């Protein structure tokens, strides 16, 4: 088992605490009692709005860096963060706990490699069962999963579990 952890073939879980009480993750039901999905059946719903936004940005020309926030606030670090000693008027916003890792709590580590297709399916299946999403399950909350781009695009391909 130690070799798998040394090779980084594991998946970590964390919880992002939300203190904004106006945000609810309670499952919403349709008039017929069925659960309203958190995602549309067709992921391309709304794609026309995205295309219009992209055309708007592209229409502004290719010299966007000079007017970008990165250039305006002289951001020179990764991850990007504004230096609040240089721009003290932004300190309250930048240092607000919701904009930091102060609301992230480690929650678990499993010996499944989410980077592999088999591991991704196993992790999704584990969440599916753990949160009672199976037919007849007791799922009462939508589950928000924060993942990197590779896992996100591969997860969108997963539609049904049987």
* pLDDT tens column, 118-159: 999 999 999 989 988 888 888 889 888 889 989 988 888 766
Burial 10-44 (b: 16+ CB within 10 A, else e): bbeeeeeeeeeeeeeeeeeeeeeeeeeeeeeeeee
> Is the C-alpha dihedral spanning 37, 43, 44, 50 positive or negative?
positive
> Is the C-alpha dihedral spanning 102, 103, 109, 113 positive or negative?
negative
How does the average pLDDT of the chain come out, rounded? 85
pLDDT-derived band at 6 (thresholds 50, 70, 90) equals low
Residues 6+ apart with CB under 8 A from 64: 57
């Amino acid at each position: 088992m130690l070799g798998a952890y040394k090779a980084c073939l594991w998946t970590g879980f964390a919880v992002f605490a939300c203190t904004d009480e106006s945000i609810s993750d309670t499952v919403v039901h349709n008039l017929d009692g069925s659960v309203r999905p958190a995602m549309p059946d067709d992921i391309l719903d709304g794609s026309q709005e995205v295309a219009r936004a992209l055309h708007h940005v592209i229409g502004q020309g290719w010299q966007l860096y000079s007017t970008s926030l990165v250039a305006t606030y002289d951001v020179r670090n990764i991850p990007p963060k504004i230096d609040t000693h240089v721009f003290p008027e932004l300190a309250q916003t930048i240092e607000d706990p919701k904009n930091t890792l102060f609301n992230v709590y480690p929650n678990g580590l499993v010996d499944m490699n989410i980077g592999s297709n088999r591991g991704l399916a196993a992790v999704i299946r584990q969440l599916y069962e753990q949160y009672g999403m199976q037919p007849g399950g007791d799922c009462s909350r939508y589950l928000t999963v924060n993942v990197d781009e590779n896992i996100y695009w591969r997860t969108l391909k997963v539609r049904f579990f049987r």
